[in-house]
Amino acid sequence: MKSGVRLKSAVCDTEVMVTKAAADEIQLTCGGAEMLEMSGAKSGGTPDAAHAAGTLVGKRYVDEGDRYEFLCTKGGKGNLAINGVALQVKQAKALPSSD
């Protein structure tokens, strides 16, 4: 996986772009199913109920160690996870006060 790659969910409408990736081998899932290349065929299933928190367009999703970052380009019903661990929405950094 490398920066700039676009992926889509096999079970919902979610589409993401990789914006940051470490060299490790991972399994990126959405809705409990592995993400596909944009040219791949969807399975036509539905997201697993345990992985159906949803994704929001325009949000960046990161892992706990901030080694991977994905930009959601199309929202959907499934949530993103790496090796079974759910990704979190990246929070904006607080700016210093200008007193």
Domain ranges within the chain, ordered by starting residue: 5-87
pTM score, whole prediction:
0.87
Q: In whole angstroms, what separates CA 14 from the centre of its chain?
A: 8
| Residues 8, 15 contacting (CB under 8 angstroms) | yes
Instruction: Provide the token pair at 85.
Output: 């661990």
CA atoms within 13 Å, Cβ hemisphere of 25:
0
- Cα 98 from Cα 71, distance rounded (Å): 30
**pLDDT, averaged in runs of 10, over the chain (99 residues):** 91 94 90 90 80 92 93 94 94 81
Closest Cα to residue 19, out of 3, 6, 38, 37? 3
Give the model's pLDDT for residue 52: 87
